[in-house]
């Protein structure tokens, strides 16, 4: 034992041990992380420490280091603090400890805050239940439950202005974040394992002050009022200062007849945060935009528009739209399963459950499909569609170009008809044969809508509840089905006067959207694709979530005000994609 160690023990007694062993080990060893080991005991005698766990024993002597099989003497010294035993990873391995551990906490900030919890040693699927979205009030905890973890000694108590508490419990690890009001999305990533929590401050203060959502983190010299100055602070500064909205609801005008509002809506499980854009009739033009290839984030699909909302369901592997989609008068995907759709461009927007009948003509003879769900029609030029398990008829100008298995590319001015193997009359068609189709829609009004998209389920019809998900092939009894999970929802409603309501709402079931829309005076409403796809875009910013956490989607409903020519919006979008 060195003279410095003996003198420290003599002056401070046992309490000096907390810092003394690390001091003796040297700066390099001190930099190694130490983890609390529940169930371990430590005994200090004559300056040495003996650690016992599950029948195994290790010893550490200042100046000499560790003594134990398979353990380097130079490994970091143990620390005894308030009854807890903190050990380096090498000592844990020598004791046979294989428990997963929290290895670090990282953060980044700007217009939003991202906090990352780095994990090590977790099994596949251990973090499946971490995903959550929602909002919390001032000093209300966001609580996540993780599997049992070994926790490092140097965990921060504050990250990017948010108070952090992590503690081991009997059945797992409790993680709590507290601060001013914020919305959040928590999810897990693998390789390496980590839990990510994205936070965005409540924009109600921004809306009330009339500033753009996501303004840069600075206060200009000509800002006159404290409210305006507060609204221009970035999220991290706002969290550090503890600024929160003064009112639960605030409204901002985006353009004549177009307003953005955020408010809280009560549910049986607590409170949902609702972001709502209200668009008065005659204020501009709605379009349905389909991703040109695969899937793209909403901020790209809505580039140049004033407002955008995610729309259809889609195949997450291929990005192909599921259900009816019509853009610029061109049908690009067929209806499915009697699901609800919305149509624009022929008066007041129409919402209703949509049925379709396809009538084909093969070489001039009518051909009616004997079964539903056995064909898929694709009309988007350049899109690669179909499956190796199904046939694919490539048609242009009512003439078959080829009849092979998929995938195949849709030709300009033509379509691809993907069909099940049992559709023998289609399988027997050859290049040069004639093939045409007629699509009959019910309600017939959808045939006259230049823009339309399907999602569902239907929520409100005729100003009354119309939620019957089983009519649209949604399972109302399965707690894990699309409609029953408590998640972020995207939905569209229409008032009797033609006002369109575009919204996202956190922590709701599909059924809970019904009273929300009735409270907003909707005559009709339907749910759009929801969960991680739910995204609302307005005035150049993603409103309901951090922009960097957007999920690529297949289609969107976008709105451009009357003063914005559509051609100009399309040019802006092309320039953005080129970048």
Three-class secondary structure assignment of 364-424: CEEEECCCCCCEEEECCCCCEECCCCCEEEEEECCEEEEEEECCEECCCCEEEEEECCCCH
Helix (H, G, I), strand (E, B) or coil at 204: helix
Whose structure tokens read 């059924």? 511
Characterize the bridge pairing of strands 350-353 and 340-344. antiparallel
How far is it, in rounded angstroms, from Cα 381 to Cα 192?
39
Please determine, for residue 10, whether its predicted confidence score (pLDDT) is greater than 60.
Answer: no
Check residue 370 and give its pLDDT.
Answer: 57
d(CA 425, CA 418): 13
Average pLDDT over residues 375-398: 87
- Give yes or no for residue 50 having a pLDDT over 60: yes
**Which of 182-186, 214-218, 326-330, 567-571 is predicted least confidently?**
214-218
- Tell me: do 496 and 390 sit in the same domain: no
The token duo for 362 is 């093969």
Could you tell me which residues are beta bridge partners of residue 314?
321
Note whether 116 and 161 are within 8 A (CB).
Answer: no
Shared domain for 334 and 465, answered yes or no, is: yes
Residues 56, 61, 65: CA angle, nearest 5 degrees:
85
Residue with tokens 């603090």: 81
Give the CATH number for residue 148: 2.60.40.3500
Q: 195 and 126, same structural domain?
A: yes
User: Quick check: 578 pLDDT over 50?
Assistant: no
| DSSP bridge partners of 321 | 314
Instruction: Determine contact, residues 130/144, Cβ cutoff 8 Å.
Output: yes
Does 174 lie in the same domain as 126? yes
CB 526 within 8 A of CB 457: yes
- Domain-embedded: residue 32: yes
Mean pLDDT, residues 509-527 taken together: 97
Mean pLDDT of 411-440: 90
The Cα 531–Cα 410 span in angstroms is 30
| pLDDT (average), residues 236-260 | 63
| Bridge partner list, 265 | 272
Please indicate, yes or no, whether residues 103 and 228 belong to a single structural domain of this protein. Answer: yes
Q: Are residues 19 and 142 in the same domain?
A: no
Peptide bond into 192 cis (omega under 30): yes
Tell me the mean pLDDT in the region 547-565: 84
For residue 111, the model assigns a pLDDT of 57
Mean pLDDT of the chain: 81
The pTM score is: 0.57
> Hey, which of 5-14, 303-312, 332-341, 564-573 has the most confident mean pLDDT?
303-312
Residues in the chain: 579
pLDDT at 383: 82
Does 267 reside within a domain? no
Strands 172-178 and 182-189: unpaired
Across 12-26, 184-198, 440-454, which has the greatest mean pLDDT? Answer: 440-454
**151-166: string of b/e by CB count within 10 Å (b at 16+)?**
bbeebeeebbbbebeb
In a domain, 269, yes or no: no
Among 403, 422, 440, give the residue marking a domain's end.
440
Inter-residue contact 122 to 130 (CB < 8 Å): no
* 392 alpha carbon, distance to own chain's centre: 34
Question: pLDDT tens, 18-38?
Answer: 333 333 333 333 346 899 999
- Radius of gyration of the CA atoms of the chain, in A: 30
d(CA 43, CA 61): 12
What's the rounded mean pLDDT across residues 74-96?
89
Looking at the fold, whether 468 and 336 belong to one and the same domain comes out as yes
Domain enclosing residue 376, as ranges: 356-440
Count: domains in the chain: 4
Q: For residues 395 and 399, what is the distance between their CA atoms, to the nearest angstrom?
A: 5
Query: What per-residue confidence (pLDDT) applies to 267?
Result: 86
Residue 252 lies in a domain: no
The last residue of one of the domains, among 68, 94, 120, is 94
More confident residue, 439 or 303: 303
Distance from C-alpha of 178 to C-alpha of 565, rounded to nearest angstrom: 45
Are 36 and 153 in contact by the 8 Å Cβ rule? The answer is: yes
* CA–CA separation, 347 and 172 (whole Å): 56
Whether residue 244 has pLDDT greater than 60: no
Q: Each residue of 208-236: pLDDT tens digit?
A: 344 333 332 222 222 223 333 333 344 44
Which residue in this structure is represented by tokens 């994205």? 198
Question: Does 140 fall in a domain?
Answer: yes
211's tokens = 């500033």
Determine the pLDDT at residue 28: 35
Q: Are 13 and 82 members of one domain?
A: yes
The verdict on residue 533 lying in a domain is yes
> 120-129 pLDDT, tens per residue?
988 867 888 8
C-alpha to C-alpha distance for 418 and 411, rounded to whole angstroms: 14
| Choice between 28 and 325, residue whose per-residue pLDDT is larger | 325
235 part of a folded domain? yes
- Please state, in angstroms and rounded to a whole number, the distance separating the CA atoms of residues 513 and 507: 11
What are the start-end ranges of the E strands in 25-181?
34-36, 41-45, 48-53, 56-61, 65-67, 79-81, 84-88, 101-109, 113-120, 132-136, 142-146, 158-159, 162-169, 172-178
Of the pLDDT bands very low, low, confident and very high (cuts 50, 70, 90), residue 133 is confident
The last residue of one of the domains, among 94, 114, 146, is 94
Closest among 480, 483, 479 to 455, alpha carbons compared: 483
Q: Does residue 161 share a domain with residue 198?
A: yes
pLDDT tens digits for 254-306? 999 999 999 999 888 888 999 999 999 999 999 999 998 778 999 999 999 99
The answer to whether residues 461 and 514 belong to one domain is yes
Is the pLDDT at 243 greater than 50? The verdict is no
DSSP H stretches of helix in 163-284: 204-209, 226-231, 235-241
Q: Are residues 544 and 500 part of one domain?
A: yes
3-class DSSP assignment, residue 3: helix
What pLDDT was estimated at residue 81?
Answer: 81
Task: Give the pLDDT confidence score for residue 192 in this predicted structure.
Answer: 86
Give pLDDT, residue 1.
Answer: 38
Q: For a pLDDT cut of 90, what percent of the chain falls above it?
A: 49
- pLDDT score for 246: 32
345 with 360, same domain: the answer is no
Q: Which residue has better confidence, 527 or 108?
A: 527
Question: Is residue 471 in some structural domain?
Answer: yes
């Amino acid at each position: 034992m060195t003279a410095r160690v003996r003198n420290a023990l003599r002056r401070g007694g046992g309490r000096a041990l907390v810092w003394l062993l690390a001091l003796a080990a040297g700066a390099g060893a001190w930099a190694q992380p130490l983890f609390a080991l529940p169930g371990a005991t430590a005994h200090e005698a004559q300056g040495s420490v003996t650690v016992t766990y599950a029948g195994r024993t290790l010893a550490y002597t200042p100046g000499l280091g560790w003594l134990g099989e398979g353990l380097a003497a130079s490994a970091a010294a143990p620390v005894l603090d308030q009854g807890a035993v903190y050990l380096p990873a090498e000592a844990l391995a020598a004791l046979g400890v294989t428990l997963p551990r929290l290895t670090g906490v990282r953060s980044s900030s700007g217009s939003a805050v991202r906090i990352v919890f780095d994990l090590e040693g977790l099994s596949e699927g251990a973090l499946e239940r971490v995903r959550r979205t929602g909002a919390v009030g001032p000093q209300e905890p966001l609580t996540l439950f993780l599997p049992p973890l070994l926790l490092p000694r140097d965990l921060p108590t504050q990250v990017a202005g948010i108070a952090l508490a992590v503690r081991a419990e009997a059945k797992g690890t409790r993680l709590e974040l507290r601060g001013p009001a914020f919305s959040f999305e928590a999810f897990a990533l693998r390789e390496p394992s980590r839990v990510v929590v994205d936070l965005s401050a409540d924009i109600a203060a921004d809306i009330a002050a009339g500033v753009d959502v996501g303004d840069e983190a600075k206060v200009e010299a000509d800002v006159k009022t404290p409210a305006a100055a507060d609204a221009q602070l970035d999220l991290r500064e706002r969290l550090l200062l503890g600024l929160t909205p003064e009112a639960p609801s605030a409204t901002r005008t985006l353009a004549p007849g177009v307003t953005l509002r955020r408010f809280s809506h009560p549910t049986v499980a607590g409170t949902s945060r609702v972001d709502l854009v209200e668009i008065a009739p005659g204020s501009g033009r709605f379009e349905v935009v389909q991703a040109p290839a695969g899937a793209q984030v909403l901020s790209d699909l809505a580039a140049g528009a004033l407002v955008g909302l995610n729309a259809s369901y889609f195949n997450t592997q291929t990005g192909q739209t599921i259900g009816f989609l019509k853009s610029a008068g061109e049908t690009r995907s067929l209806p499915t399963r009697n699901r609800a759709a919305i149509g624009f461009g022929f008066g007041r927007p129409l919402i209703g459950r949509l049925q379709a009948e396809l009538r084909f003509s093969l070489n001039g003879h009518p051909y009616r499909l004997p079964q539903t769900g056995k064909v898929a029609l694709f009309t988007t030029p350049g899109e690669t569609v179909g499956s190796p398990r199904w046939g694919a008829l490539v048609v242009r100008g009512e003439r078959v170009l080829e009849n092979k298995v998929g995938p195949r590319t849709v030709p300009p001015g033509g379509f691809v008809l993907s069909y099940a193997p049992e559709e023998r009359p289609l399988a027997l068609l050859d290049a040069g044969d004639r093939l045409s189709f007629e699509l009959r829609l019910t309600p017939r009004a959808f045939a006259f809508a230049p823009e339309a998209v399907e999602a569902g389920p239907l929520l409100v019809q005729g100003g009354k509840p119309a939620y019957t998900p089983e009519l649209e092939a949604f399972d109302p009894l399965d707690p894990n089905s699309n409609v029953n999970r408590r998640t972020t929802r995207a939905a569209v409603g229409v008032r009797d006067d033609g006002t369109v309501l575009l919204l996202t709402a956190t922590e709701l079931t599909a059924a809970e959207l019904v009273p929300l829309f009735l409270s907003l005076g909707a005559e009709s409403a339907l749910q759009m694709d929801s969960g991680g796809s739910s995204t609302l875009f307005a005035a150049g910013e993603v409103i309901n979530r951090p922009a960097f956490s957007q999920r690529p989607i297949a289609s969107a409903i976008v709105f451009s005000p009357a003063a914005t020519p559509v051609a100009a919006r399309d040019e802006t979008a092309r320039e953005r994609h080129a970048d």
